[in-house]
Amino acid sequence: MPTTVMWFRRDLRLADNPALLAALETARADDSAVVGLYVLDDVLWRRAGANRLAYLRESLRALDEACGGRLVVRRGDPVDVVPRVVREAGAAEVHAAAGYEPYGRRRDDEVAAALDGPGVPLVRTGSPYAVAPGRLFTQSGGAYQVFTPFRRAWLEHGWREPVHRPRQIPWADLPGEDLPHSPEPTARLPRAGEEAARRRWRDFLDDGLADYPAARDRPDLAGTSAMSVHLRWGEIHPRTMLADLATAQSDGAPSEAVATFRSELSWREFHADVLYHRPDARTRSLRAVVPDDAWTRGEQETEWLTAWTEGRTGYPFVDAGMRQLLATGWMHNRVRMVVASFLVKDLHVRWQRGAEHFMAHLVDGDVSQNQLNWQWVAGTGHDAAPYFRIFNPVTQGEKFDPDGEYVRRWVPELREVAGRRVHQPWKLDTPPADYPAPLVDHAHERKVSLDDFQRGR
């Protein structure tokens, strides 16, 4: 029997999956079966940290169950693996959602070229985004470099309605491979899979959306959706979420809450668009803001970077965030900005070092979001925060963790310190002996950063 291959990548779901529907349409026209394929790409496997790999294993298990146990997992270079599966299955077409990150674009072009020999097309349908990167342009025909006009164009462009989940899929029975052993995760991971994503999203719509504008900046509260992990793996499509937001608004959800959450989805798509046009942004600053000699190097960089990664800087709000990352594979977004600012502008360590650490531990680690958010904080990206915007780790903690609950949750050495005093333990009559003194003086390092910025101008 002939087959059609559905190559899953960043779309580990069956609902609202246009590429899957396209594969199914071809299969029905040819009276053929569908091979559900996932390729464990050695390049991406080596780059990913233990938390992300462990989560991927669980997400693939959930997808395999949804596919009736017939998801075909193969490991290797997709340029070799996909044509091999096509030959084994006698497939006439390969279907996939388009990839837009730098590596994904190269990979897909190489796979398409490899399939040209046997005359099998790689059909790319849909994307991981509501509006695909590279779709929107300014009036002068250039790429957007400022978020607000991008968001305006994004809203005006709009997106299609979600597509239905197929009721029956004639999955082909093709042998796969056991999921390879992955390193033990360092974090307690959330439940993976499409059903888990839908449950979490429904719970947020019911109980969290109305308070989102005010609560989203409070790491001591469960005020965010925590949907970034599910979006990263495509266990839910942003288009589905946007449709649900519109329904929620029509059912009485506050307009401000809907608009605020929709704007966060737009930020995600803005960063994907920036990386699409500037693939070098993955590792290079889009613009220089300080002289090269401003950065800490050598033994001091190693010492300060290590203290930061371990949550031992002596600044409780920073340390709580870094320990949350190690313990859960996730960090509250407000805290991500504060810890990033502290590394770049208090410790004067290049943003690439921090981005590398985040990618090694974040379950929601996504190249465009991670790298461009770091560039935003560092002041080096498009529409970035000005370099002279330097987060004060004490006042940020006092404002967004006013009772110190977040710090006490993640920094056990400070659990006996009541209230907001926890944000400045060095001012206590008897500072906790097992908690470090501040690594640097924020006021001094702020002045150093501002002086470096002036020199850079």
Q: Which two tokens stand for residue 359?
A: 């990618």
pLDDT above 80 (res 179): no
* pLDDT in the model for residue 1: 63
Residue scoring higher pLDDT (384 or 289): 289
Does the annotation list 140 as a binding residue?
Answer: no
CATH of the domain at 250: 1.25.40.80
Does the annotation list 227 as a binding residue?
Answer: yes
Biggest CA–CA distance in the chain, Å, is 79
Does the annotation list 49 as a binding residue?
Answer: no
Choosing from 127, 152, 171, the residue where a domain stops is: 127
Q: Give the residue numbers spanning the domain of 437.
A: 292-456
Given pLDDT bands bounded at 50, 70 and 90, which one contains residue 181? confident
Does the annotation list 141 as a binding residue?
Answer: no
Residues in the chain: 457
The CA–CA distances, whole Å, from 39 to 60, 64, 83 equal: 11, 13, 12
357 and 438 housed in the same domain: yes
Does the annotation list 59 as a binding residue?
Answer: no
* pLDDT in the model for residue 44: 79
Does the annotation list 224 as a binding residue?
Answer: yes
**Would you list the DSSP string of 49-115?**
-HHHHHHHHHHHHHHHHHTTT--EEEEE-HHHHHHHHHHHHTEEEEEEPPP-SHHHHHHHHHHHHHH
| Per-residue pLDDT tens digits for 80-123 | 999 999 999 999 999 999 999 999 999 999 999 999 988 999 99
Q: Which two tokens stand for residue 232?
A: 């990263």
What domain count does the chain have? 3
Given pLDDT bands bounded at 50, 70 and 90, which one contains residue 287? very high
Q: What is the Cβ-side half-sphere exposure of residue 394, based on CA atoms within 13 angstroms?
A: 13
Distance CA 125, CA 209 (A): 31
27 and 82 housed in the same domain: yes
Give the mean pLDDT of the chain.
95
Q: Which two tokens stand for residue 205?
A: 């719509």
Q: How many C-beta atoms surround the C-beta of residue 236 within 10 A?
A: 24
* pLDDT in the model for residue 456: 84
Q: Which two tokens stand for residue 165?
A: 């989940």
| Per-residue pLDDT tens digits for 35-85 | 999 999 988 787 778 888 999 999 999 999 999 999 999 999 999 999 999
319 and 397 housed in the same domain: yes
Task: Determine phi and psi for 171, rounding to 5 degrees.
Answer: -65, 135
* pLDDT in the model for residue 184: 80
Burial class (CB in 10 A: 0-12, 13-18, 19+), 128: buried
118 and 12 housed in the same domain: yes
CATH of the domain at 322: 1.10.579.10
302 and 414 housed in the same domain: yes
Does the annotation list 225 as a binding residue?
Answer: yes
| Per-residue pLDDT tens digits for 394-428 | 999 999 999 999 999 999 999 999 999 999 999 99
- 158 assigned to some structural domain: no
Does the annotation list 383 as a binding residue?
Answer: no
Q: List, as own/partner pairs, every contact residues 266-270 make where C-beta atoms lie below 8 angstroms and the sequence separation is at least 24, other chains included.
A: 266/147, 266/150, 266/151, 266/154, 266/155, 267/147, 268/129, 268/231, 268/238, 268/369, 269/129, 269/130, 269/131, 269/133, 269/154, 269/238, 270/144, 270/147, 270/150, 270/151, 270/154, 270/383
Does the annotation list 309 as a binding residue?
Answer: no
Does the annotation list 368 as a binding residue?
Answer: no
The CA angle 210-372-298, to the nearest 5 degrees, is: 125
